[in-house]
Amino acid sequence: MKILVTGSSGLIGSEAVLYFERQGHALYGIDNNMRADFFGPAGDTTWNLDRLLATTRRFQHFDLDIRDRAVMLEFFAVQRPDAVIHCASQPSHDLAKDRPFDDFDVNAVGTLNLLEASRRYTKEAPFLFMSTNKVYGDAPNEMPLTELPTRWDYARASEYNGVTEMCRIDSSKHSLFGASKVAADVMTQEYGRYFGMPTACFRGGCLTGPNHSGVELHGFLSFLVKVAARAGTYTIHGYKGKQVRDQIHSVDVVSAFDAFLKNPQAGSVYNLGGGRENSLSILEALEAVGALLGKTVQRDYKDENRQGDHICYITDLRKLRGDFPDWQITKPITTILEELVEAESRFKRTGEFSPAALRAAAR
């Protein structure tokens, strides 16, 4: 099978390349490293592309821009992939306010370009869109909460499992990023329902793993580990640092994609995260990372939360598990934290993930 992965040098895209390449599939990757443009040198994913080129045999990289409609149509007409895993995005709700045209053009228009190209040339191919829980805006904040010593939690027993796919997506504050992802999410659903295409929206929460190029504006756990390991000061934005996120490892994200590819449906929507077992607050994350590093992580506090930010977000996984009972979380939060700390420590010791080292390995 020929699988197209957009955003193939990013966290989830690169994991998808490696996962499906190991299964013997041919992988096409589209990525123009716009993350470096968005976030500067810290967001540059060249090192990850070098890693893929050094360790795969059935992967082809294409330095293309999904905003270029003519190029996307031509790509699909020529390559005709058997499946599409669309991970390319502008991923920061903070950055979107400063670059609204780029945000919407990448997230909404780019997705439309891919959907229409797929409809014209590969209509039967499953199309998986890496959406976000930010499509719900701040509606999850309306769920009553109780304040515990280190975190906020849901006050009603009926909401113990977290946010379901029935949470509304309108009449809430999303950030411009959330709004552009709503457009892409709904369009992906519509191509599934209107044209009968096998599409799925995976509304991801905090996706992480050791190959994450986390920055302050996106990828909080990866960024927190980097700050802590490099003796920096981590800034907490509001909510007393008790805001909660559930974390899911990139391997478990991609295995959910695999489950859908084996049993695709039209216009599907799934919340995708680590669930309650993999949830932790910022305060809890700081303590856990500090314990692994053997030191106290320095922090400061700004009593102003990011607009549209969630206070407590835990992913209800019951729909996903109901449709794909063989899928499960394989990386508990303790393992995720250990891998992030080890990856950062390995980089500091050896420069293993530096572009120069990877290019040398490729030769």
pTM for this prediction = 0.93
Judging by beta carbons within 10 Å of its beta carbon (0-12, 13-18, 19+), is residue 128 exposed, middle or buried?
A: buried
* pLDDT number for residue 217: 60
Q: What residues make up the domain containing 329?
A: 2-362
Q: pLDDT digit string (tens) for 93-120? A: 889 999 999 999 999 999 999 999 999 9
- The pLDDT mean for the chain works out to 93
Scored b (16 or more CB within 10 A) or e, 314-344 reads bbbbeebbeebeebebebebeebbebbbebb
Q: pLDDT digit string (tens) for 138-186? A: 999 999 999 999 999 999 999 999 999 999 999 999 999 999 999 999 9
Q: State the amino acid at position 313 in one-letter form.
A: Y
Among all chains, which residue has been given the structure tokens 């990013």?
A: 10
Q: Which two tokens stand for residue 355?
A: 């572009």
For residue 360, pLDDT over 60 is answered with no
Q: How confident is the model at residue 43 (pLDDT cuts 50, 70, 90)?
A: confident
Q: pLDDT digit string (tens) for 251-294? A: 999 999 999 999 999 999 999 999 999 999 999 999 999 999 99
CATH number of the domain to which 70 belongs: 3.40.50.720
Q: State the amino acid at position 316 in one-letter form.
A: D
Backbone torsion region of residue 301, taken as left when φ is above 0, otherwise alpha when ψ lies between -120 and 50, otherwise beta: beta
* pLDDT number for residue 350: 60
* pLDDT number for residue 218: 65
Percent of the chain with pLDDT over 90: 87
Q: State the amino acid at position 324 in one-letter form.
A: F
Q: For the chain, what is the total number of helices (H) and then of strands (E)?
A: 14, 15
Gap between the terminal Cα atoms of the chain: 28
Number of domains in the chain: 1
C-alpha 349/C-alpha 243 separation (Å) is 33
Backbone torsion region of residue 275, taken as left when φ is above 0, otherwise alpha when ψ lies between -120 and 50, otherwise beta: left
For residue 356, pLDDT over 60 is answered with no
C-alpha 223/C-alpha 355 separation (Å) is 19
Paired sense of beta strands 59-62 and 268-272, if any: unpaired
Q: pLDDT digit string (tens) for 329-342? A: 999 999 999 999 99
Q: pLDDT digit string (tens) for 207-258? A: 999 887 767 766 789 899 999 999 999 999 999 999 999 999 999 999 999 9
- Cα 330 to chain center, whole Å? 17
* pLDDT number for residue 359: 38
When pLDDT is averaged across residues 7-22 and rounded to a whole number, the result is 97
